[in-house]
Amino acid sequence: MIAVNEAFDRVMNTSPDFGKEVVPLQESAGRVLRQQVLADRDLPPFNRVCMDGIAIDSRSFLQGKRKFYRQGFLGAGEAPPGQATGPDACMEVMTGSVLPPGTDAVIPYEQLEALSEEDGTWYQLKASIFPEAGQHIHSQGSDAAKGSVLLEEGVRITSPVIAVLASAGVSMVKVSRMPRVSIVCSGDELVPVSEEPLPEQIRQSNGYAISALLRSYGVSCRIHYVRDHPGQIGALLRELKEGPDDCLISTGGVSAGRKDLIPGLLKETKGSVLFHKVAQRPGKPLLFGCWENGKVFFGLPGNPVSCMAACCRYVIPWILEGLKGKQAASLHARLSEPVNFSPKLTCFLPVRLVCDDGGMLRAYPLRGQGSGDLVSMQLAEGFIELPAEKELFSEGEAYRVWPLDGSLILP
């Protein structure tokens, strides 16, 4: 049996890299960017008017002028006029238009009186208004200069990132390829959800739970069922090993029972066991291995809580590593109550997370009937990791939380 950190290092030492692919911009949300993006033009690309109103030369105002003749109109998307605005004149401008030549300040309509006179429209500044050069103008290149780096490789494509990509003209985006994953659910007692179980049977739930967790990170999975039959499991493993998956995740069949066939079958299919059994609760019988073709195998324990804890603690970090995103910030929370855990094992407690009035994230342990009790898990948002070296964990102490949903903590 090895310690949690050692098991984690062995998982990460397989150094997954799922490679890159190119996808249309609209499909890139949530993915990891795998190209550097430079500004193909200044941003903003011109001196951009920020308010609807008029543009004037502020020097005319400094010389005592407060009334300006409307020389013309310039809307967003219209090319500016060739001639400069005269000292007595103004241009009526719209938010998003180019600052007309000869002007350096924009005055919003709310600060103006419009006067219709025989020779046209004039705008007069209201009494309390004192415009300054540069006001209400978003200067060319002030956000980013042409050629500068807008986005670095490894960022996750969120809604603001996609806006930057769009502005830079990136219609096809290089992103990390998502891993292909198969889940193998083994157990003679399992029946599909749509079937009525016999009294000695249960409905299969782990496959869905794993798949939902992975989906929250954008990974979709195929779910397979097998009975506790060596021939059946072996055949499926051999088939999947040669198939397109990067990773296989099994649930059940890894502890000490006569029908716990997974570790033996991993070896039989020429897989190497990198570890089996970790000093943790729940999830002690966890198995991890790989085949010579680079595919990895997570043998998660069958008990539902153990299965989810191992998935959060090992499978998800392995996937994030392979996506080559910038390192995820780790999530920590303070225990809402003292916890006593005396076995010399790392403890993963399912917790509900609540941000208190002081802005502090608190972890509320959800106590159930042990690792088989999936009903008590329903409010859980993650597992808090309590180190093996301690027995008493006081209220208010902060520990790492491994989230049960990707949206809680993505890089």
Ligand X SMILES: Nc1nc2c(c(=O)[nH]1)N[C@H]1C(S)=C(S)[C@@H](COP(=O)(O)OP(=O)(O)OC[C@H]3O[C@@H](n4cnc5c(N)ncnc54)[C@H](O)[C@@H]3O)O[C@H]1N2
Residues in touch with ligand MOO (CB under 6 A): 281-284, 301, 303, 306, 371
Question: CB atoms < 10 A from the CB of 83, how many?
Answer: 11
Residue 184: C-alpha distances to residues 11, 109, 230, 302, 401 (Å): 19, 66, 13, 11, 27
Kindly give the residue spans of alpha helices, DSSP state H, lying in 271-337. Answer: 304-310, 316-323
Question: Residue 255 interacts with ligand X (CB under 6 A)?
Answer: yes
Query: CB of residue 307 vs ligand MOO: minimum separation in angstroms?
Result: 8
Binding string to ligand X for residues 149 to 188, with x set by CB under 6 A, is what?
A: ------------------------------------x-x-
Question: Residue 304 interacts with ligand X (CB under 6 A)?
Answer: yes
Is residue 222 classed exposed, middle or buried when 0-12, 13-18 and 19+ CB atoms within 10 A define those classes? middle
Query: CB of residue 240 vs ligand X: minimum separation in angstroms?
Result: 17
Question: Residue 289 interacts with ligand X (CB under 6 A)?
Answer: no
d(CA 315, CA 288): 10
> Which CB atom, from 56 or from 185, has the smaller least distance to ligand X?
185
> Which CB atom, from 164 or from 278, has the smaller least distance to ligand X?
278
Could you tell me which residues are beta bridge partners of residue 70? 90
Query: CB of residue 282 vs ligand MOO: minimum separation in angstroms?
Result: 3
Query: CB of residue 187 vs ligand X: minimum separation in angstroms?
Result: 5
Question: Residue 263 interacts with ligand X (CB under 6 A)?
Answer: no
Tokens of 108: 């919003």
d(CA 316, CA 299): 14
> Which CB atom, from 31 or from 284, has the smaller least distance to ligand MOO?
284
> Which CB atom, from 284 or from 313, has the smaller least distance to ligand MOO?
284
The single residue among 22, 202, 212, 354 that binds ligand X, judged by CB under 6 A, is 202
d(CA 44, CA 167): 10
113, 120 Cβ separation under 8 angstroms = no
Check whether the bond before 44 is cis (ω within 30° of 0): yes
Question: Residue 368 interacts with ligand X (CB under 6 A)?
Answer: no
Q: Name the site residues for ligand X (rule: CB under 6 A).
A: 185, 187, 189-190, 202, 204-207, 251-257, 260, 282, 284-285, 301-304, 306, 371-372
